[in-house]
Amino acid sequence: MSPLLLGAEQTRETFAGLDAWQIVLWYGLIALSVAIFGYGVARLALKYRRGRTRGPVGRPLERAVRAARIVATHAWIRRREPLSGLAHLLVFYGFVVLFIGTAILAFQDDFAEPVLGFDFWRGWFYLGYSLFLDVFGAALVVGLTIFAVKRGLLRPFRLSYWRPAEPAPALADEAKVYRAGDWAFLGSLFFLALTGFLLEAFRIAADDPDFEVWAPFGWLAGQGFMGIGFEGAAADDARLATWWVHGVFALFWVSSIPFTKAVHMLTGPAGVAVTDRRAGSVLQPLPADARSEDVGYATIDALSPKHLLDLDACTKCGKCHAACPATATGYPLSPRDVVLDLREVAEGAMGNRASLGIPPRFPDRAEILGTIKPETLWSCMQCMACVEICPVGIEHVPIINQMRRALIERGEMDGQLQQTLETIYTSGNSFGEAKRKRARWARDLDFDVKDARKEAAEILWFVGDYASFDPRNQRATRALASILRACGVDFGILHDGERTAGNDVRRAGEEGLWTSLAEENVATISGCRFDRILTSDPHSYNTLKNEYPQLGGTWTVLHHSELLIELLESGRLALRKGLGYRVTYHDPCTLGRYNGVYDEPRRLLDAVGCELVEMPRNRDNSFCCGAGGGRIWMQELQAEGARRPSESRIDEAVALGALDYFVVACPKDVTMYEDAIKTSGHQGEIELRELSELVLEALGPAAAPPPAREAAAL
């Protein structure tokens, strides 16, 4: 072997200055630390196994590769928070490299040298090892410093523990514990990193080896100690004391991982691996043999293993807290607090806290309905903003939906919601109108609209409740019908055979009613002859496309923005003039975050000659109108004086400067924002247009529908 590799003196002794009994003690402490760590991990696994099984997780290799990519790149952590993403990247890779360095040293001392007789930890390898660990140790300190500055000085809203249902800046007892835990975690990593550098500096000050310049930060610190006369035996005594302090604290820290905030190092990547990115758009059906007590999440052990894992994966970063439209507009809901409260119940009932005999915060440990207040659950708009931004893949929306199911089963719901659900059950629509009136909007067209139940059609148009019955929405519905007619599209509707698609019925928690509606619609649609289904309602679009296949209804479903772009690109949609308007566009949650349709509406606006001015919150960061999850059918739950989500959104649009139109592509958005323009005080400053209305205007007067007649009974 080359002397450069094996015979060089560039190395150091791991146990320098330690007696044999001290080395034995050290290995005993390692065994104890690993045992405590293993016990904690085993308790976590047992807790997750107690959850109600939702089904096997498929494609394990694909999921593992995806998780590795997301963790390695920090793709989910860096989104909308580049500085925090950088800080976490530095901390993550600093910690990982230092851990690997420790593992290499253990392999050298405990296997390579005593078993194989191979001493590789010297010469060029040792020098490179020293440089690598020193640089990444410094990166760890820099990242921790950024976090400390953000928490201690900048204090962004997302890191506050203010609860929407409580007056700010009051800090509840559990919030004080959370804050102390956050700082303890940050401080412990600081302590590990700084004592590591201090240990290196004392060693260099004691021996002054010239080759340790390869550990530049430790070298500079060591030279500083020598400069003040702290060297030789005194520095070596300090080194030995620091070795024990650093080493014992490191072992204690490792053993504490399953019991502290550090558990996210294990559960975070696991949560990313098993998360379902379609969990919000495709809700889980009830088992066919489900008993009443098995409906939804009423007790903590009803949660699925994945959702129990989610509770431990939460890092309390507050990104969901900041993104939630309910939190931002005064509703008594924070998705972060829901997760943390459920974690408290789980820990008290069956987690590591219970195993250690620590009293739980909640006396009735297994019950979660009541711990999480009904008004909190009914505040959720099911908009998916929390799920979309979560860096560890927590499924807040499905968890809340399951708790809503349990509330519905108990009959604990908003009175207005209950009345609407009963109306849908009896009439098939949320307006309570006779089914014969569903196609009334078409009577003012100068052509007949096919009944797709009787005649074959290229496109079956599923119109939806608001597009069918709401007078303002009917204008947009007739505009779309006129566009299709002008393009020569062969389309038909279900007339009185259509029932509410049920997307928001399901997200309100009424699974039984959704199933009934969906089965009737599937039966009706299956009796028709068509190529594809069209809808202008993103809520209908989502459940028809993603959830009806659970009941055998598998079709190609298009949002009208997708079909109009297709017609434009094929030449069937021939626009005659550019509009020249200055507009902004609102991304519907169910079209965007649920289904990833962002570009088609923007391409249409460009095609009709509109200048698009994007709102600060757009695409996957769009702000909910407040209608989703059945909230359009419920009473307001906001704090007095707070702006509704729709009003806040209009404020945001008006702040962009002079605009001609606020453009939407969802019937519920038409309803919510027409009202918000009036109630927000911006009437006369901005007007609303549905996307179809602008496309029709660009087609020219020849394609316009005749003026609407006065309402009359069919």
For residue range 482-522, list pLDDT tens digits in order: 999 999 999 999 999 999 999 999 999 999 999 999 999 99
Both tokens assigned to 241: 């004391």
Per-residue pLDDT at 362 exceeds 60: no
pLDDT of residue 711: 40
More confident residue, 622 or 358: 622
pLDDT in the model for residue 350: 81
The whole-angstrom separation of Cα 474 and Cα 33 is 68
169 against 18, higher pLDDT: 18
DSSP single-letter state for residue 154: I
Predicted pLDDT of residue 374 = 94
Average pLDDT estimate for 406-422: 95
Instruction: Supply the pLDDT for residue 317.
Output: 95
Burial class (CB in 10 A: 0-12, 13-18, 19+), 405: buried
Quickly list DSSP for 44-60: HHHHHHTSPP------H
Question: Taking 70 as the threshold, does the pLDDT of residue 93 lie above it?
Answer: yes
The mean pLDDT of 404-421, rounded to a whole number, is 95
d(CA 698, CA 705): 14
364, pLDDT greater than 50: no
- In this model, does residue 7 exceed pLDDT 50? no
For residue 708, is pLDDT > 70?
A: no
pLDDT at 537 over 80: yes
Percent of the chain clearing pLDDT 90 (strictly above): 83
Q: Predicted confidence band at 165 (pLDDT cuts at 50, 70, 90)?
A: low
Q: What's the pLDDT score for residue 710?
A: 44
* Reported confidence tier of residue 527, pLDDT bands at 50, 70, 90: very high
Mean pLDDT of 415-440: 97
Contact indicator for 425, 457 with CB cutoff of 8 Å: no
Write down the pLDDT at residue 709.
52
Q: Count the alpha carbons within 13 Å of 83 in the hemisphere toward its beta carbon.
A: 10
pLDDT at 53: 74
Model confidence pLDDT, tens digit, residues 283-320: 999 887 888 888 999 999 899 999 999 999 999 999 99
Least confident piece of the model among 152-166, 223-237, 564-578 = 152-166
Structure tokens given for 378: 């009914």
Question: Over the stretch 244-253, which tens digit does the pLDDT of each residue have?
Answer: 999 999 999 9
Band (pLDDT 50/70/90 cuts) for residue 444 is very high
Whole-number Å distance between alpha carbons of 259 and 257: 5
Please tell me the predicted confidence (pLDDT) of residue 193.
Answer: 97
Top-ranked range on mean pLDDT: pick from 120-124, 175-179, 614-618: 614-618
Question: Average of pLDDT values for 400-428?
Answer: 96
Give dist(CA 544, CA 554) in Å, integer: 8
Cα–Cα distances in angstroms (integers) from residue 520 to residues 418, 493, 501, in the given order:
21, 15, 10
Evaluate if residue 714 carries a pLDDT over 70: no
- Closest Cα partner for 714 from 495, 552, 568? 495
The per-residue pLDDT for 642 is 87
Q: Is the pLDDT of residue 94 over 70?
A: yes
What does the buried/exposed string (b/e) look like for 478-507 if buried means 16 or more CB atoms within 10 Å of the residue's CB? bbbbbbbbbbebebbbbbbbbbbbbbbbbb
Give the pLDDT confidence of 588-601 residue by residue, as tens digits: 999 999 999 999 99
Predicted confidence (pLDDT) at residue 701 exceeds the cutoff of 90: no
The correct answer on CATH 1.10.1060 for the domain covering 273-412 is yes
Q: Helices 471-486 and 691-699 meet at what angle, rounded to 10?
A: 40
Q: For position 167, what pLDDT does the model report?
A: 59
